[in-house]
Structure 1
């Protein structure tokens, strides 16, 4: 039994209560029983005497004396009659028969008669009348005489006094029994009461350490302890569910924080790149204009460098428009203007716009297109995305290479909860040969301002926003897309829902 534990405390308190209660009961019996017994016996004696007086007063002596003898037997009392001359006639409890005598002519024959001097207790064992006797006196008359007699009744209290003395002498033995019973009862009681509380304490301790496994079944009782056990079980279940939700929310929050940090880093990189992309041409144009204004060296040929400055400004204008398009695409309020658009026609227009550059690079553009391929899309944005895809394929292929463009309708099955659904899709594939990209770089091609060629020279590439704009447009249309290396070159694939 753990010291200062609840079992120990209940055991000590219960033992003390049992011992004190038993001693109080025992001492109460010892001190209060004699007085209580005396009062009860006095009350019964007086009641019996009153009933006796009613029964014998005014009756003949031969009828009254047996009743008085019977009263003495029932109440273990001594009775006597005293006349006016002081003669006392003892009526023994065993007296039942007498001769017909006349009161005043020799008294009651068969009854011991004596003259009293004061009030003696001769023939009564020498009992202390004050402490061991209950005495009652009444005046009665008999039918044989007009003389009044005094009836005295004495009831001994010695039996209860002896019982009190026996109780006091038996106290040491009772103390041993009381201690044994108290200790044994307290041990059993404390274990019965403390066991469920200890179990609940163990459950609460495990809950405090966020251990929500509950091997202990709730107590099957209808009292407050059973209700507490069921509530703890419900608390564990609710806490476990809540902790799982909090962990999921925490994980989601961590992911959001990581994503936010990545986005913030991308924003900083985006701003820095924009600053670089704008600062470099502005510096070049400013330098050329300043040199032309000062007629310095080769810049006296103003027509040549004005055309170069104009070309740089056009590139800057294109970059600014691309940035504005991205701003619209990334806006939360952006909603594409969706309507039916012929994707095949958009591809033809893009091929036609890139035919001049292809001829300059001695490249072949091969296409396999249906007559029409209607989709639901924002025409302006989709045209820009398709143009960027075709432009990238032509721009980043070497001279004499080939660009193959295929657009075809396919059917794709998807299994629902009740039935299979067949979807009509258009698949666009753009393959440029003679090029292979590092696999690690393929996943970054859709990042803003990312270019495979790190020198960022305008002579070898654009701003690096083309495929990023493509990804934003296709994401807004719910399309599936990707870039992969093939044995022939690099292929861009796109899947769009048919109208």
Structure 2
């Protein structure tokens, strides 16, 4: 019985119960019907008509015996039909739920249980749908996290390769200088003259190693900092202040126009670090007599500087670590090629959309940052 499917099992249970009731009812009818006959004999004749009563009892018994086979057959037919209808009505939605779970096992996103009623079976189908959709959502989220981790690992490997290549040049130069000093080759015999140069190389290496280590920990630092509600114009004014002084020292016009209030919820330290790198690049690549502009339109923050526009095919390479678009601006002038890489990493981690593109009037470059305002707490 345990191996039968739901429909025949439920049908046999229902039919068995109905047959048991039929047998009991007909048994009671056969036994009690002759004794429950109605006596239509007048009271004056009842005492002398015992034989008539026995004859009537025999007639009733024979009538019941003749009616029992027909009654049993009709009852059996009705029982089978009722059992089939009842079993079909109960098992059909369960079978549909069972059939709906087959494509769910294959993670078919279009699969789902059809809800026909609001009873317990309908609630079961609704719960299965909710559970399945939550499962799909969780799987999709895990797939996204897996791809994100894969991209992070790939970017770390690329960063370490670029960092090792970037460190190779100054290390090789320092090693060659020290080796020539030890061997006393040519002008390197004057060690006192080249020791300050070696010290300067070591300091540059220390700065580069520090920047590389800080950048390698960037994703962890961004994820650990809690976002807080802050007024963006006040934050931007604080970030722009040192670069306004640098711009003034180089005869660069620095324009700052922001609304009085624009509340945002961001990790202030890391967001400020990204914006500072953008401002540093804007000022550093702007010639004397040109201008740098910081302003806001609706939810978009603009940082523009007048300069020679960068070719569109080269812009994507700017966000690679240690890439420098202007080769005249080398390590000696302070550029380490990590600024826009840091900007890209921070904004990607914070899910802040941004773009960097050339502009025609005035000729230069424009950095845009998309922000969503946060209403102040009541």
Shorter-normalised TM range: 0.5 to 0.7
In 2, distance between residues paired with 1:458 and 1:23?
108
**Would you say the 8 A contact 1:350–1:390 is kept in 2?**
yes
* CA distance 1:474–1:430, change in 2 (3 Å): farther
**Which is helix-richer, 1 or 2?**
2
**Which is strand-richer, 1 or 2?**
1
Secondary structure at the counterpart of residue 292 of structure 2: strand
Give the corresponding residue for 1:217: 117
Give the corresponding residue for 1:429: 304
Q: Which runs of 5+ in 1 are unaligned?
A: 38-69, 78-155, 219-229, 356-364, 395-400, 415-424
In 1, distance between residues paired with 2:291 and 2:352?
18
Confirm or deny that 1:264 pairs with 2:138: no
Secondary structure at the counterpart of residue 484 of structure 1: strand
Residue by residue, what CA displacement relative to the aligned partner does 1:69-128 show, whole Å, maximum 9, x if unpaired? x99944117xxxxxxxxxxxxxxxxxxxxxxxxxxxxxxxxxxxxxxxxxxxxxxxxxxx
Residue by residue, what CA displacement relative to the aligned partner does 1:374-416 show, whole Å, maximum 9, x if unpaired? 99987x956665233333x36xxxxxx9994332655x347xx
**Would you say the 8 A contact 1:407–1:426 is kept in 2?**
no
Give the corresponding residue for 2:291: 405
Confirm or deny that 1:233 pairs with 2:122: yes
Residue by residue, what CA displacement relative to the aligned partner does 1:327-352 show, whole Å, maximum 9, x if unpaired? 68652259999865373661441574
Deviation at 1:257, TM superposition (A): 1.8
Counterpart of 1:389 (choices 282, 290, 301) is 282
Query: Counterparts of 1:291-440 in structure 2 under 5 Å?
Result: 291-296=180-185, 299-300=188-189, 302=191, 305-306=194-195, 308-323=197-212, 326=215, 330=219, 331=221, 332-333=224-225, 340-341=237-238, 343=240, 346-350=243-247, 352=249, 367-370=252-255, 385-391=278-284, 393=285, 404-407=290-293, 409=295, 412-413=297-298, 427-433=302-308, 435-438=310-313
Query: Counterparts of 1:188-227 in structure 2 under 5 Å?
Result: 188-206=81-99, 208-209=101-102, 210=104, 211-214=111-114, 216-218=116-118
* CA distance 1:402–1:255, change in 2 (3 Å): farther
Instruction: Name the Cα RMSD after superposition.
Output: 5.1
Give the corresponding residue for 2:108: none
In 2, distance between residues paired with 1:309 and 1:267?
30
* CA distance 1:313–1:494, change in 2 (3 Å): farther
Deviation at 1:212, TM superposition (A): 3.5
Give the corresponding residue for 1:106: none
Deviation at 1:465, TM superposition (A): 0.7
Give the corresponding residue for 2:58: 164
Give the alignment's TM-score, normalised by structure 1: 0.52
* CA distance 1:433–1:310, change in 2 (3 Å): same
* CA distance 1:293–1:169, change in 2 (3 Å): same
**Would you say the 8 A contact 2:7–2:87 is kept in 1?**
no
Deviation at 1:157, TM superposition (A): 5.1
In 2, distance between residues paired with 1:475 and 1:22?
82
In 2, distance between residues paired with 1:159 and 1:334?
101
Confirm or deny that 1:491 pairs with 2:365: yes
**Would you say the 8 A contact 2:304–2:364 is kept in 1?**
no
Aligned residues: 336
* Structure (1 or 2) with the larger CA radius of gyration: 1
Counterpart of 2:74 (choices 181, 201, 207) is 181
Ranked by relative contact order (alpha carbons within 8 Å, sequence separation 6 or more), the top structure is 2
Query: Counterparts of 1:55-74 in structure 2 under 5 Å?
Result: 73-74=45-46
In 1, distance between residues paired with 2:191 and 2:176?
13
Deviation at 1:263, TM superposition (A): 1.4
Secondary structure at the counterpart of residue 433 of structure 1: coil
Secondary structure at the counterpart of residue 319 of structure 2: coil
Query: Counterparts of 1:453-468 in structure 2 under 5 Å?
Result: 462-468=335-341
Deviation at 1:489, TM superposition (A): 6.8
Deviation at 1:308, TM superposition (A): 4.8
Give the alignment's TM-score, normalised by structure 2: 0.65
